[in-house]
Homo-oligomer: A and B are copies of this chain.
Amino acid sequence: MPVTPEQEAEIAELRATPRQTLRAVSEGMEKHLYEVKPVLDHGFVRVIDYMGDDAAICQAARVSYGKGTKSVQNDAGLIRYLMRHWHSTPFEMCEIKLHVKLPVFVARQWIRHRTANVNEYSARYSIMDREFYIPEPEVLAAQSVVNNQGRGEVLQGEEAARVLEYLKTDAARAYDHYEEMISQDGQQGLARELARMNLPANIYTQWYWKVDLHNLFHFLRLRADSHAQYEIRVYADEICKVVADWVPAAYQAFEDYRMGGANLSGKALECIRQMLKGEEVTQESSGMSAGEWREFQSVLNG
């Protein structure tokens, strides 16, 4: 269970006390506020706050005095136009704040998206909890043989068992020693900022992360992609569900143009034009590398 009963009570209290506001409200989002969405074995995503809705995107694009909405249909069309033509600033007018609990190695990948605001739990100041990510057997995979940075077949039998054993016992021992080192019971007690260096990268950390919708879409396109590492993709997937409820029109445009779309090179477009004329096209005639050609084929095959 990712949160304690005490924390659950705090969350319940927050959800029990609605207040009045004159700001734009997204009904779809209100139902998610504060709720713990479990991810991996001990992690979660929680929406802490949000600003704006679909209408706010249009309102900013039109620099309007009032709500900026003409009609829901009209707005959806404008939002599709903005997305298609890379008008990013209206999407920046929506903002979301998340509380995320995640393994350190996932956090290190996540933080590479720099256009966001972050407050992380401080291991200089505070004591880390004894919580480590241990993969489920079905995601414990071998190194990919075709992709240098991906996974292949699921590990089997003894090998899988040994890996899980190592991950569990090494984490447990590292944490035991961490605790022992910082203990002030009968000794000085090592500084927390030093002791933390003994903890492995599957320990959980947590942070508040705030980002605008444009940059969030960029994050989701890369991290909800099938080539992203599974352990970050599950967070991205969870966030996608929330965004779909928050700004449905913008999310639909994002799905069509970004997630479901593809960026084709001039060479690829030329191939398509030739194919539509009935001409034969091969990797050689295309001028593409083997890898590029493979990717192009997979786009054509859907």
Residues of A bordering B, CB below 8 Å = 3, 7, 10-11, 13-15, 17-25, 30, 33-34, 48-52, 56, 59-61, 63, 65-67, 77, 80-81, 84, 86, 89-90, 92-93, 95, 97, 99, 103-105, 107-108, 111-112, 114-115, 117-125, 133, 135, 140-144, 148-153, 155-156, 159, 162-163, 166-167, 170-171, 173-174, 177, 180-182, 184, 187-194, 196-202, 206-208, 210, 212, 222, 229, 255-257, 259-270, 272-273, 275-276, 289, 291-292, 295, 299-302
Contact = CB atoms under 8 A, between A and B. Distances in A.
A275 B273 contact: no
A67 to B, nearest CB: 7
B261 A166 contact: no
Contacts of A167: 197-198
B266 A190 contact: no
A93 to B, nearest CB: 6
Nearest to A95: B95
Contacts of A299: 269
A282 to B, nearest CB: 15
Contacts of A184: 143
Contact of A93 (B97, B142, B202): B97
Contact of A125 (B117, B149, B192): B149
A14 to B, nearest CB: 6
A159 B188 contact: yes
A61 B301 CA distance: 31
A93 B212 CA distance: 12
29 contacts: A10-B66, A20-B25, A21-B23, A21-B30, A48-B59, A49-B51, A51-B97, A81-B291, A89-B118, A89-B119, A93-B117, A95-B95, A141-B190, A141-B194, A150-B191, A151-B194, A155-B190, A162-B181, A166-B180, A167-B198, A170-B177, A196-B201, A199-B200, A201-B201, A256-B266, A260-B265, A264-B264, A275-B276, A276-B300
Nearest to A135: B194
B269 A265 contact: no
Residue from A20, A81, A191 with most neighbouring chain B CB atoms (10 Å): A191
A24 B95 CA distance: 14
Nearest to A53: B49
Contacts of A111: 108, 111
